[in-house]
Structure 1
């Protein structure tokens, strides 16, 4: 942990000086504060306040849509760019939750309490996983100015231990300013059989059909919400936040969308990346003499050259990218449906549409990609060398509901063309996002204006920009207390061809010990693992991101004075934004507050009750032994007794054809067995005993008689089982696909009384550190 006894000037200017570098030694003026509400001179005067739609894509790289150089045909997104403006120097946080926090509040992520993903809460203000009560969200601002506020899709601004039905809903979308909500509180969900969807504040309990694709469903829900507003409030403007779950892993797409890209990636990632960069220069996104960041294993965290792969490996890797491209096509179809509906109801021209991604393309599929996403997407340390990473599946199943997969890191390198590295880093590949802003009636383009803007902007600037464009006022009080000031500044001037935008004074980006600071032409980067740790001169890299946007040339040795100056400004900004303490201490990220122990208490479920939420379910089994007891009150019927998980990993106990059966899905590797029965049981207990090496032995005890079902299987860890526990049916995604094809949800028809989960001893490799909540409070006071 880094500590510092100095007391900085805590200004709402990101802690930076009021002037910044422009080139090598020059200065620029500070970023201006937000001007008074303004409507630009339109080509057709809006008769009412504009509608606003913010479309945010999950884990999509800078170059993945055609306006930013992609070979993926995205005509609807291209049309938005043709009607509006592309910002090529727009930055976000390295991961999703912090970006969403800054977008919603106009404040920097740590200051908004979400400096990392909302799944993490070690008890410090900057990474507690939820928005402060004194920071108005965009929804609260727009609703306070007379707008209807609507949301569909991913929220990810609620601490994960507060997502279950017994938790406070104070951080859920409806309580943070939205009139309507349909989507997932989680950081992601599957595109087929989503694991947990809310409508407003209630879980959706319907069974999703096998071909019900989530992007399409979210689009239909959004259109229905718009129509609901229009049918009752003809002149009331609306704010719609459409937060796509695509293209976050597990990456899935519709069959026709994948087929449309068949063979498009056979040439490999080196060729596709080079072609994208050439298109980007042709589009005017970069200068003709701009350089692309280098490839090769030493520059890409291990990605091999395409021509070094054998034929079968190339075929598999190309299919992974076809799936990803199909998911992007699904997003474009969604945009097309929204725009067509707006035009049909006469609202397109007076609707501001913002399109962006929450971070760069991700390497979490690993160098080889995976068809077993949850075995790779785990936060557990010390996994054995033989840990399952990729269960082989037929190529034709990739992208469908049976496979939870993700493309290899080489394709993420393509997604982030021309930048370095990936999601999760403060290099440009992690934080440079495509941004399109379109408002035909209010922001028309002049003759000869290609709509490409290279002005620096940060995600916290979006809220002030939209507030200015719409003429709405951010509240000065919230819930009876003064509202926090924003950190962002409007970049609306960059969208007005007659005005000269001002440059920002400075912007820090921080994530899990990584540091970055922008000012004028310069970007300072500190990534400890690349240069042996510490924060001395050898720690820092310096780039001229105007001349060198892909961070190819490190200038730190040439300009030590600039490095020292920007490093100090980063430190001041970090203090102001509650970035400290930094998680350099290895145990910090495995600390949990003692209040989380409430979720580890035994639970009894009645048959047919809504599926228990994922985190509440996982706490009962996480890296430990546990027992599941089912009690019966009559003859053995048919149906699912208990189910936990889905095609990404899980287990299920069911009765069929007068037999008791058990299936265990080890990240796609199926284990099926029958449990001996002498008569109708009164109790059946499944005992999961933790073994060395992240494994379980599973035993069935039927009325006192024990039978070992599986000697050893890999534990379900991290985000698996993803779908929570269902008693009396197979809720959410199916655990055993063959059973699902035969029986669907297969509701239990006999006399099942209840199912009880009893957590047992934690395994020695469970490295969670429980910290008393009063100890955390004392640390913060000190």
Structure 2
């Protein structure tokens, strides 16, 4: 390669330029990019179903995406991982998800190579290779490739975006956030200090503003340098939110219900050639009819509520299209649209996490490991007009998710096609390729990075941090663009929480449940589909072709070993294991007033699935007012404040509000103790003591579980999404005044019996060998 590096690399897109210096560090630009090198824009949409865009049969207006598709290629046989982090890891590295360290979302590290939730040190990212190839590299939006225990302000940042190849980053590094009041924003390597969000703030708009600013600032300083922009939308992941004017445009569009809409999308897909005529729309059990009521059976009130959920979802997709339109317009103004490679895709299929009725209380049913009591309220009733707005966190019902995944069956996290079959659009007007339109070749997410590098003529880095780079699992499919008859990918394994699948040519074998330990990793119940004749998996041929099933199950087993898939989460306990290094995050901590909130996961380790206490030393004036401490948002949380000199204790139980007031306190020093104690039935009791006497109590409320409280702990004000909307309407973030918060300390108590977490000395044996 040395000679090739000295004279420049010849790729699909031509020669990149001259090699900078053999003595340069691995991360420095290794080439001077050609002045005519194309820009690269990758737009990734979160939890978008196969049929949710205009080119794939949707009724949602997406004119900007339609334009891109009309100028390029629409891939009808693109598959991705069943969950978001695994797809993003494969996109960034060209590796299969488990080899990239992400057999699961970036929340746990049970101690196995396929589940580290960290990109491998010897796996250069697409951004790193492009930066070495002379590109400016920008990212906005959702990262979700750093373990949640390494998101706090003192964490090792080696897996943050800037350390993985991006010159600039702005967005939310967590898996999702509120679009009206983001729980935490990061710019480059630092948390953004936002004392209060302005009225009408919306994250999709700010992400787009930030992306345009990065491009503009580059062009002010360098008119020719090509750039790579990775725009990873937070939409349409839950909580599904949108702006009121956009929601209004879709009012009434979904009154006919999900059954009719699914049929209409399927008919359009056939007209567009997105699905072949031989495809059948799954029905009965295959269409999850047992989980999705028929629209005609619903009451008028239910129809209105459920339609509202989909109106908001459509508005969110609409807003993504508007964002794409703003990007396209700016590139056009700069005269660079023609020479920009645009790749637009979804990270996985649409999700059914909203359940059969959807929810206005997202965290009441999302992200829980513990079994919920029978009387648990999963959807706190509130005005349907508030869905999509800042006052509640919602998720659409599974009936609409089935529509999103038309014509396929099942949902996100499944290895059926509904979980892995996603939209993909590629555009490059200046490519010189005349043959455009539909492409039905099999493409997998790990093929995208090699394809992009091939198109722009940049070689992948051969080493990283002094170690030889892993060879990618994906391969360039650039030839497919110019040749509708070119070969696509032949085979690919899939795995998610023990669900397995193997596609090989026309055939797909899958097992929708993990095998028991006695059955072995290749055992269990398998289904078989001939995708060339039955792309929507309606005719199980396993009983008729047992030998083929055994062959594909064996092939999956071989691929699983090669790709570090094991161990399977066959009993649901794998991800209860966490590194013992997280233990200090549960130690008592003293917080400083008026600083940015304590990061979400760091804060959760003090409170979730346990009893805890908050100690506050205050010196009050006669007019004491404001928030002492707040933890959470409209999705659930608690808050201690003073109003008119009197203490106020507020608890938001996933939208069900509880408040308790104490008498006004005299000026001078006071010791406050907020005790949050676990009761039976996964409930808490909150008591506020002032100078040793109980002054306010909230008895018997549901515990905040899983991802709630989502917004971290803020001291001296209520950051971001308010815990108590009525208090927020009166005072905004309600910064504490009329006294001094001398000290505020969290003291975690006993862990709940429902906490399945097991801390293990993960990595200790490897470290001992290294020493």
CA distance in 2, matches of 1:763, 1:590: 14
Structure 2 unaligned spans of 5+: 1-8, 16-33
Deviation of 1:427 after TM superposition, in Å, equals 0.5
Bigger shift: 61-70 or 503-512? 503-512
Please list every run of 5 or more consecutive structure 1 residues that lacks an aligned counterpart in the other structure. Answer: 1-34
> CA deviation digits over 1:645-700, x for unaligned, max 9?
00000011111212111111110111112123452352111000011111111111
| Equivalent runs, 1:343-354 vs 2, <5 Å | 343-354=332-343
Aligned to 1:264: 253
| Paired residues for 1:512-661 under 5 Å | 512-528=497-513, 534=519, 539-635=525-621, 637-661=624-648
Between the aligned partners of 2:445 and 2:647, the Cα distance in structure 1 is 54
CA distance in structure 1 between the partners assigned to 2:388 and 2:593 by the alignment? 32
Deviation sequence 1:622-643 (CA, Å, 0-9, x none): 1111001111134262211100
Report if aligned partners of 1:647, 1:737 keep a CA contact under 8 Å in 2: yes
Q: 2:732 aligns with which of 724, 740, 744?
A: 744
- Asked if residue 440 in structure 1 is aligned to residue 429 in structure 2, the reply is yes
Partners of 2:68 and 2:696 in 1: how far apart?
60
**Mapped contact 2:282–2:536 kept (Cα < 8 A):** yes
1:699 corresponds in structure 2 to 687
Alignment counterpart, residue 369 of structure 2, candidates 357, 373, 380: 380
Asked if 1:674 corresponds to 2:648, the answer is no
Q: Secondary structure of the equivalent of 2:430?
A: coil
Answer with 483-492 or 679-688: which moved more.
679-688
Report whether the alignment pairs 1:188 with 2:162: no
Residue 718 (structure 2) pairs with residue 730 (structure 1): yes
Report whether the alignment pairs 1:663 with 2:637.
no
Hey, what's the Cα distance between the residues in 1 that align with 2:403 and 2:169? 34
Work out the CA distance in 1 between the residues paired with 2:466 and 2:349: 38
Q: Distance in 2 between matches of 1:443 and 1:98?
A: 33
Distance in 1 separating the partners of 2:598 and 2:729 = 23
Instruction: Tell me the CA shift for residue 301 of structure 1.
Output: 5.5
Q: Distance in 1 between matches of 2:161 and 2:246?
A: 31
Q: Secondary structure at the match of 2:554?
A: helix
CA RMSD of aligned residues (A): 2.0
Counterpart-to-counterpart distance in 2, 1:404 and 1:780: 47
* CA–CA separation in structure 2 for the residues paired with 1:532 and 1:323: 44
Q: Deviation string for 1:598-629 (max 9, x for gaps)?
A: 11011111111111000000000011110011
Supply the distance in 2 between the matched residues of 1:553 and 1:36 (Cα, whole angstroms). 46
Aligned to 2:217: 228
Q: Is 1:59 equivalent to 2:47 in the alignment? A: yes
What is the CA–CA distance in structure 1 between the aligned matches of 2:700 and 2:764, rounded to whole Å? 39
1:324-349: CA deviation from partner (whole Å, max 9, x where unpaired):
00000000100110000100111100
Query: Within 5 Å, which residues of 2 pair with 1:99-114?
Result: 99-114=87-102
Shift in Å at residue 296 of structure 1?
5.7
> What per-residue deviation string (whole Å, max 9, x for no partner) do you get for residues 283-309 of structure 1?
011222321122469735511111111
The CA deviation string for residues 144-193 of structure 1, in whole angstroms up to 9 with x for no partner, is 00000000000000000000001111110011010000001100001101
Q: Helix, strand or coil: the match of 2:607?
A: coil
Task: State the TM-score, normalized to the length of structure 1.
Answer: 0.92
Q: Contact 1:205/1:610 (CA < 8 Å) preserved in 2?
A: yes
- Mapped to 2, the partners of 1:266 and 1:350 lie a distance apart of 43
Asked whether the equivalents of residues 529 and 541 of structure 2 are also in contact (C-alpha less than 8 Å), the reply is yes
**Alignment match, 2:448:** 462
State the distance in 1 between where 2:518 and 2:182 align. 41
For the Cα contact (< 8 Å) 2:35–2:224, is it kept in 1?
Answer: no
* SS in structure 1 at match of 2:343: strand
8 A Cα contact 2:312 2:388, kept in partner: yes
Change (3 A) 1:426 1:391: same
* Residue 20 (structure 2) aligns with: none
Q: Distance in 1 between matches of 2:432 and 2:404?
A: 29
In structure 2, the residue matched to 1:509 is 494
1:753 equivalenced with 2:753 (yes/no): no
Aligned ranges for residues 66-105 of structure 1 at < 5 Å?
A: 66-105=54-93
Q: Distance in 2 between matches of 1:327 and 1:531?
A: 41
Q: Per-residue deviation at 1:532?
A: 12
SS at match of 2:431: coil
Is the CA contact (8 Å cut-off) linking 1:524 and 1:543 kept in structure 2?
yes
State which drifts further: 282-291 or 455-464: 282-291
The CA deviation string for residues 748-769 of structure 1, in whole angstroms up to 9 with x for no partner, is: 1221112100000112222212
- Cα-to-partner distance string for 1:697-751 (whole Å, 9 max, x where unaligned): 1111101112351111111110000000000111121111111111111111221
Q: Distance in 2 between matches of 1:61 and 1:614?
A: 28
1-structure distance, mates of 2:378, 2:91: 35
| Aligned equivalents of 1:779, 1:513: Cα separation in 2 | 31
In 2, the alpha carbon distance for the partners of 1:495 and 1:255 equals 40
User: Which of residues 468, 471, 480 is equivalent to 1:485?
Assistant: 471
Matched-pair contact (CA < 8 Å) for 2:649–2:696: no
Is the CA contact (8 Å cut-off) linking 2:12 and 2:478 kept in structure 1? no
14, 17, 37: which is aligned to 2:11?
A: 37
How far the C-alpha of 1:40 sits from its partner, in A, is 7.9
Residue of 718, 722, 736 corresponding to 2:706? 718
Instruction: Tell me, yes or no, if the aligned pair for 1:645 and 1:735 is still in contact at 8 Å.
Output: yes
Aligned residue for 1:126, secondary structure, equals helix
What CA distance in whole angstroms lies between the structure 1 residues aligned with 2:94 and 2:101?
Answer: 13
Relative to 1, partners in 2 of residues 1:255 and 1:678: Cα closer, same or farther, differing over 3 Å?
Answer: closer
Match for 1:308 among 273, 282, 297? 297
SS at match of 2:240: coil
Q: 1:600 to 1:531 in 2, by over 3 A?
A: closer
Q: How many angstroms does 1:565 deviate by?
A: 1.6
Taking the aligned partners of 1:186 and 1:87, their CA distance within structure 2 comes to 29
In the TM superposition, residue 533 of structure 1 has moved relative to its aligned partner by: 9.5
Alpha-carbon distance, 1:47 to partner = 5.9
Separation in structure 2 between the aligned mates of residue 558 and residue 367 of structure 1, nearest angstrom? 34
- Aligned in 2, Cα 1:719/1:528: closer, same or farther, shift over 3 Å? same
Contact 1:83 / 1:444 at 8 angstroms: preserved in 2?
Answer: no
Aligned counterparts of 2:105 and 2:114: Cα–Cα separation in 1 = 11
Check the 8 A contact 2:626/2:717 in 1, yes or no: yes
Partners of 2:758 and 2:463 in 1: how far apart? 38
Moved more, 577-586 or 356-365: 577-586
Residues 84, 444 of structure 1: 8 Å contact kept: no
In the TM superposition, residue 486 of structure 1 has moved relative to its aligned partner by 0.5
